[in-house]
Amino acid sequence: MILTIDVGNTRIKGAVFEGDILLEHFVFLKKEHKNNIQNILKKYKKVSHLVVSSVGELEKDSFSHYNNHLKVDFISHKDPFPFTNGYATPQTLGIDRMVLAAGATLQFPNQNRLIIDVGTCVTYDFVDENDVYLGGAIAPGLRLRYESLHNYTAKLPLLASKNPDSFIGKSTAESIHSGVVNGFAYEIDGFIDEYKAHYSNFIIILTGGDTEFLAKRLKNTIFANSNFLLESLNQTFQYKIKND
Q: The domain that contains 196 carries what CATH number?
A: 3.30.420.40
On whether residue 229 sits in a domain, the answer given is: yes
Kindly state whether residues 92 and 67 are assigned to the same domain.
no
In the chain, pLDDT over 90 holds for what percent of residues?
Answer: 71
On whether residue 11 sits in a domain, the answer given is: yes
- How far apart CA 117 and CA 232 sit, in angstroms, is 13
Kindly state whether residues 179 and 65 are assigned to the same domain.
no
List the catalytic residue out of 6, 96, 117, 125.
96
On whether residue 238 sits in a domain, the answer given is: no
The question of whether 96 is a catalytic residue gets the answer: yes
| SS3 assignment, position 220 | coil
On whether residue 70 sits in a domain, the answer given is: yes
Cβ neighbour number for residue 16 with a 10 Å cutoff: 22
Kindly state whether residues 69 and 91 are assigned to the same domain.
no
Query: Average pLDDT for residues 139-156, to the nearest whole number?
Result: 96
Kindly state whether residues 44 and 101 are assigned to the same domain.
no
Q: At what angle do helices 142-151 and 183-198 cross, to 10 degrees?
A: 130
On whether residue 15 sits in a domain, the answer given is: yes
CA angle 140, 33, 92 (to 5 degrees): 40
Helices (H), 58-201: 95-107, 142-151, 172-177, 183-198
On whether residue 244 sits in a domain, the answer given is: no
Contact 211, 110 (CB under 8 A): no
On whether residue 239 sits in a domain, the answer given is: no
Query: Average pLDDT for residues 23-28, to the nearest whole number?
Result: 91
Give the per-residue pLDDT at 56.
64
For residue 61, CA distances in Å to 4, 64, 67 come to: 17, 5, 11
Model confidence at 142: pLDDT above 90: yes
User: Could you read off the pLDDT of 40-97 as tens digits, one per residue?
Assistant: 989 999 999 999 988 766 666 777 777 778 898 889 999 999 999 999 999 999 999 9
- How far apart CA 226 and CA 228 sit, in angstroms, is 6
Amino acid residing at 193? D
Kindly state whether residues 99 and 58 are assigned to the same domain.
no
Report the DSSP beta bridge partners of residue 21.
18
Kindly state whether residues 134 and 201 are assigned to the same domain.
yes
Kindly state whether residues 66 and 121 are assigned to the same domain.
no
Decide which of 133 and 33 is more confident. 133
Kindly state whether residues 189 and 151 are assigned to the same domain.
yes
Kindly state whether residues 69 and 96 are assigned to the same domain.
no
What is the residue range of 42's domain? Answer: 2-74
At residue 91, φ and ψ (nearest 5 deg) are: -75, -15
The number of distinct structural domains making up the chain is 2
Model confidence at 141: pLDDT above 90: yes
DSSP state for residue 196 in the 8-state scheme:
H
28, 46, 74 - which closes a domain: 74
Kindly state whether residues 213 and 95 are assigned to the same domain.
yes
The overall average pLDDT reported for the chain is 91
Kindly state whether residues 98 and 214 are assigned to the same domain.
yes
Sheet holding 223-224, edge to edge: 84-85, 132-140, 121-127, 112-118, 202-207, 223-224
43, 74, 105 - which closes a domain: 74
On whether residue 207 sits in a domain, the answer given is: yes
21, 47, 74 - which closes a domain: 74
Query: Average pLDDT for residues 111-136, to the nearest whole number?
Result: 96
At residue 3, φ and ψ (nearest 5 deg) are: -105, 115
Kindly state whether residues 98 and 164 are assigned to the same domain.
yes
Buried/exposed 67-91: b ≥16 CB within 10 Å, e otherwise:
eeeeebbebeeebebbbebebeeee
